[in-house]
Structure 1
């Protein structure tokens, strides 16, 4: 029989984001029946489209208007990963940064913070349904940085 302490310290699914009171808004809630709250889908499950009102181009256009850039001529990738709940609200934001050759490295903390602050208020995320049930899902936006400027938004 597994030791309860060892079972609790592992996420329900690889890559799950657990609540961190220093980073996360306590008002953000996962949805669905209690038995589902320990599991969230990935952005590509249920439907294949980019689930944002206006699609990815709407995010890209908003980003262009913000004119976010780094004074440093850095290149690499900054990924903001987060959870979209069944109401389309977002929370549990986490950052990852990589060099152009995909090695973990800090590129520019100020730029990372600007991109995080840009991503958090995006409010066009659409709830997903799988087999008629609205579900929580993980989404990410990866900002490709070339010479200090965002050149592309992925996926």
Structure 2
């Protein structure tokens, strides 16, 4: 089975994705998620490092913006991220437009994160899906999830 036929996988899109991004094991018939081992979310400095970096950039959008902006992506066996996709929702978890400029800023911020830790399962380095959800209130990130 081709790994890109699994529910939740992100297909490579030459219009959006870096052609140099390496997917390490294209023959795996299932998708690993960041929570598929006991270590969970893995970033150097943990989530606190991401929050501090975001805070230092003072990213914000329209003060009426509110909801969730989720950036989902693949971390490969080298700890590099690619195949970024965005989903936006209101506080009722229904798809909704939030603030396109803020979306772009948070996507660029997420792409700039370079501290992803390589995951191993059964002593093999793997590709895995990760996501970051930004809770938006009054045009600013009020919380980062998970």
TM-score w.r.t. structure 2 length? 0.94
Within 5 Å, give how 1:25-104 maps onto structure 2: 25-32=18-25, 34-36=26-28, 39-104=30-95
Which residue, out of 131, 137, 143, partners 1:146?
Answer: 137
Instruction: Flag the structure with larger Rg.
Output: 1
Residue number in structure 1 paired with 2:12: 19
Residue number in structure 1 paired with 2:114: 123
SS at match of 2:27: helix
8 Å CA contact retained: 1:74, 1:148: yes
Provide structure 2 residue ranges, at least 5 long, that are not aligned to the other structure.
none
8 Å CA contact retained: 1:47, 1:128: no
- Equivalenced residue count is 146
Residue number in structure 2 paired with 1:105: 96
Question: What do you get for the CA RMSD once the two structures are aligned?
Answer: 1.7
Tell me which stretches of 4 or more aligned residues in structure 1 moved more than 4 Å: none
TM-score w.r.t. structure 1 length? 0.89
Provide structure 1 residue ranges, at least 5 long, that are not aligned to the other structure.
1-6
8 Å CA contact retained: 1:81, 1:140: yes
Work out the CA distance in 2 between the residues paired with 1:23 and 1:123: 19
SS at match of 1:41: coil
